[in-house]
Amino acid sequence: VLKTLNSWFWWENIWMPINCSWAHFVDREGLVFPRPHQLYATIPYAFVLLIIRFLSERFIAIPLAKALGIKNIRRVKPQPNPVLESYFRECTKHPSQSEIQGLAKKCNCTVHFVEKWFRRRRNLEIPTVLRKFREAFWRFSFYLASSIGGFMCLYDKPWFYDIWLTWVGYPFQTMLPSQYWYYMAEISFYWSLLFTIGIDIRRKASGHALIDFMAHIVHHLAAIGLMSCSWCGNYLRIGTLVIFVHDTADFWLEAAKMFNYAHWEKTCNALFIIFAIVFFITRIILFPCWILRATLYQPTFYSTTPVIAYFLFNGQLLTLQGLHLYWGYLIFKTLRKFIRSE
């Protein structure tokens, strides 16, 4: 069954234009093509990024946080109590007064002790400001490095200025070393985010934790799927443009969060406004009008019979655009509150 599914997945009519086959994608005469099996390397690279994250958070983020006046608050742990711990995990974190009295009798302790135990246990679940700062610092560092690296990868490429050139010579476009490492870093980063999504702080942009949690999972999976499909189909030129457009706004947001945790309100507000402007320009204007136009409309000039990958690739791009609109709405709401409070 797996062999049949594998043969269907790599069916040439899915990925290749007419009269092309996988046999044509053999490195020759200076042409180097991406190989699907190379994507396996993103898993160990993701663990390398996790090591880098740990070291950067410990030896850079923590000293920086202290320099900005952020203290490491140590919360008091409640005394070990299997009965209360079980009730906390399985029943409720906020027991009623009658429930507290019942637990006090069951544990042979005072009501005050049970109330204090639950209060301390709830406090342990609240992430400290230092932990929030460390996570924001890691994302800021990666997105900033990725944006700089992406610009260095693209600034001297003609298709960066004329997006029509992303399709000239397709599919026989050579893979550049800069494109290889750009893709490896990005896919590995999103794998690392998926690996730690259960322990990372859950963002509550909309006020609904589960919705935002699922939105982040969908975003990470869509990003990995999109980049992996574009790699297999040799859409590296347009793919690097998609990555660059996405990363250029994110480090502004993470920088705003860092200064917010340090209570630098004016700096935080200025950075958030810059983030909102860059976000709306790149993801609400440039992405649909520049990127989607190049992936939906321009390929029809080079082939009258789009392959199945055309629909897979654009379906994932449209999924991302839906998420852009969702997050754009949340950003607009935040900006409106900010303007009204001024």
Contact indicator for 236, 179 with CB cutoff of 8 Å: yes
pLDDT at site 155 = 94
In a 13 Å sphere around the CA of 226, the CA atoms on its Cβ side amount to 24
- What does the buried/exposed string (b/e) look like for 286-297 if buried means 16 or more CB atoms within 10 Å of the residue's CB? ebbeebbebbbe
Give mean pLDDT, residues 249-254: 94
Tens digits of residue pLDDT in 207-216: 555 676 777 7
**Structure token digits, residue 236:** 């590296």
Q: How far apart are CA 258 and CA 273, in angstroms?
A: 15
Q: How far apart are CA 130 and CA 306, in angstroms?
A: 51
Q: How far apart are CA 113 and CA 118, in angstroms?
A: 9
Contact indicator for 104, 111 with CB cutoff of 8 Å: yes
* 126: Cα separation from own chain's centroid: 22
pLDDT at 306 over 70: no
Q: Taking Cα atoms as reference points, which of 71, 54, 195 lies closest to residue 128?
A: 71
Contact indicator for 262, 285 with CB cutoff of 8 Å: no
pLDDT at site 126 = 81
Instruction: Give the whole-number percent of the chain exceeding pLDDT 70.
Output: 94
- Name the DSSP letter for residue 163: G
pLDDT at site 107 = 87
Residue type, 307: V
Least confident of 100-104, 148-152, 183-187: 100-104
Average pLDDT, the chain: 87
pLDDT at 206 over 60: no
pLDDT at 7 over 80: no
pLDDT at 17 over 70: yes
pLDDT at 219 over 70: yes
Question: H helices of 196-307, where?
Answer: 209-232, 236-261, 265-279, 293-296
pLDDT at site 203 = 63
Give helix 129-154 / helix 42-56 axis angle, nearest 10°. 130
Give mean pLDDT, residues 309-317: 84
Q: How far apart are CA 143 and CA 250, in angstroms?
A: 6
Q: Taking Cα atoms as reference points, which of 259, 271, 265, 252 lies closest to residue 140?
A: 252
Contact indicator for 37, 110 with CB cutoff of 8 Å: no
What is the band of 1 on the pLDDT scale with cuts at 50, 70, 90?
low
Tens digits of residue pLDDT in 35-79: 989 999 999 999 999 999 999 999 999 999 999 988 877 777 888
pLDDT at 11 over 70: yes
Give mean pLDDT, residues 132-137: 94
Measured CA distances, 211 to 153, 203, 232, 278 (Å): 35, 10, 31, 25
What is the band of 255 on the pLDDT scale with cuts at 50, 70, 90?
very high
Contact indicator for 111, 101 with CB cutoff of 8 Å: yes
pLDDT at 205 over 60: no
Least confident of 204-218, 298-312, 313-327: 204-218
pLDDT at site 297 = 86
Chain position carrying tokens 């490095």:
145
Instruction: Give the whole-number percent of the chain exceeding pLDDT 90.
Output: 45
Concatenate the DSSP letters of all residues of 290-313 into one string.
IIIHHHHTGGGGT-SS--HHHHHH
Q: How far apart are CA 132 and CA 72, in angstroms?
A: 11
pLDDT at site 209 = 59
Complete domains list, the chain, with CATH: 29-68+128-341 (no CATH), 82-125 (1.10.10.60)
More confident residue, 49 or 233: 49
pLDDT at site 125 = 77
* 294: Cα separation from own chain's centroid: 23
pLDDT at 262 over 80: yes
pLDDT at 202 over 70: no
What is the band of 108 on the pLDDT scale with cuts at 50, 70, 90?
confident
Q: Where are the beta strands (DSSP E) in 102-254?
A: none
How many residues are there in the chain?
Answer: 342
